Amino acid sequence: MLDWTDRFYRYFARLISRHTWLTTEMVTTGALLHGDRDRFLAFDPAEQPVALQLGGSDPEDLARCAALAAAAGYSEINLNVGCPSERVQSGAFGACLMAEPKLVATCLAAMRDAVTVPVTVKHRTGIDQVEDYGFLRDFVGEVHHRSGCEVFIVHARNAILKGLSPKQNREIPPLKYPYVYRLKQDFPQLEILINGGIGDWPSIEYQLAHVDGVMIGREAYHNPWILVEADRRLFGDDHPLPRRRDVVEAMLPFLRARIAEGVPLKHMTRHLLGLYQGMPGARRWRRTLSDPAALRDNDPEVVRQAARQMEEPLPRAA
């Protein structure tokens, strides 16, 4: 989720849920090896547990990047073999790698040899017009056998490599949940997580009756309050649930610290827009936190004031 699950969003999400596993936006090996390494690896210790997701297809480069991520303190390294973007394909990685399970296995094995933290892989049920479950089964079987990887995160849709945008690839190819359930039955020793089209707690709990875990992407971004129930429902932590206002107050010191480092407030408040999703006055909250005039002075107090407004009665129409 490029430009979405950056360190600002992840810190915010951690204030809502103490235990949910967080994952970075995908970082390519080229960006990490030849770009601003400190920026790509930066995270706050409070985010833990957090995984770094890598994109690449060169085993040596992936091993070097995995070692850098582990040294930086990440709890897991994930290889993205699910992104359908044509821009990613031009670099010979992402979902197109599902056609090359031996290469995927070699990449994962190199990463596993370079670190002691878990190395996982995220992929699709298939590519293009491949509808046979056997393709998915054989991909997972070969990758596991050759690399030793034990955690597979499956976006339960095919990736259409040509003709569909990444957004269309999240919506048009039909969901194939039964394929992922069958995968768990065929590989009971592996940890199988499911992703795609899951956006409420009844759906999450239904999925967990069939697989080992659920990854939620855009729903957790647009409606982050869905995470507030995770600690109690999934991790046995019955701590008092925070209020949205509590999360805002806890976020303020982080905002101030990042502003002191030169980060514009607007780069962070965009990740907070969904906090009041579905609540009366949510539009007012979003409008304030995306208003250039309100954010111009880089004063986080505007966030506190917006939260206070959410506790006031909405003005009645004339």
Cis peptide before 49 (omega within 30 of 0): yes
Q: Considering 83, 96, 107, 149, which one is annotated as catalytic?
A: 83
Q: Are 221 and 238 in contact (CB under 8 A)?
A: no
* CA–CA distances in Å: residue 196 to residues 23, 165, 224, 312: 15, 16, 16, 37
The Cα 125–Cα 95 span in angstroms is 10
Residue 97: name the closest of 51, 55, 62, 150 by CA: 55
Q: Residue 189: is it exposed, middle or buried by C-beta count within 10 angstroms (0-12/13-18/19+)?
A: exposed
**214 forms bridges with which residues in the sheet?**
194
Of 79, 114, 111, 113, nearest to 98 by C-alpha is 79
| Cα(152)–Cα(213) distance, integer angstroms | 10
Count CB atoms within 10 A of the CB of residue 122: 23
Q: Active-site residue 149, yes or no?
A: no
The residues assigned a catalytic role are 83
